[in-house]
Amino acid sequence: MDKATFLRRVNNNFLFQLFQLWKLPAAWFMGLRIAHCDANACTVRLPYGWRSQNPFRSVYFAAQCAAGEMSTGLLALAVLQELPPVSMLVVKIEAEFIKKASATLRFTCDEGALIESTIREAIDSGQGQTLRLCSVGRLPDGTEASRVWVTWSFKRK
């Protein structure tokens, strides 16, 4: 599949829901949705509700980490569509929670160009590469609620 087809499918809510149900049931259960995804940036919507809520009436930290991971991982998967096989693996997750998240959050990663250059380096060199990506979670009014850093490892198979 080419990158354009992959991005069209990711941005199709019905198709992406089926994919989540099949491969990522926890993300489907939490209600993660793609707000927008292109070659440069990906925004994932995490609704505030009983499926993503903790006992303190805010969005559970693990749900925020999942949304951050998805916004970075989809950008990498888009790059991999037209390249030789590469394994990708999360090797570290860090998070900073700045404001109580008691509303729907949007997590955005806009480092698509950096992801592509790192993956191409892993392919060209034959050596594994790691990349630390940031996804910022914002409340509906634009206030930053959290930051999730996901460190990915890429290695040619």
- What mean pLDDT comes out for the span 74-94? 96
Position 1 scores a pLDDT of 86
CA distance 48 to 57: 9
Q: Distance between CA atoms of 17 and 123, rounded to whole angstroms?
A: 31
The structural domains of the chain, ordered by start, are 3-156 (3.10.129.10)
- Tens digit of pLDDT for each residue in 27-73? 999 999 999 999 999 999 999 999 999 999 999 999 999 999 999 99
User: Among 79, 88, 105, 89, which Cα is nearest to 10's?
Assistant: 79
What percent of the chain has a predicted confidence (pLDDT) above 70? Answer: 100
Q: What mean pLDDT comes out for the span 22-27?
A: 95
Q: Tell me the pLDDT band of 82, cut-offs 50, 70 and 90.
A: confident
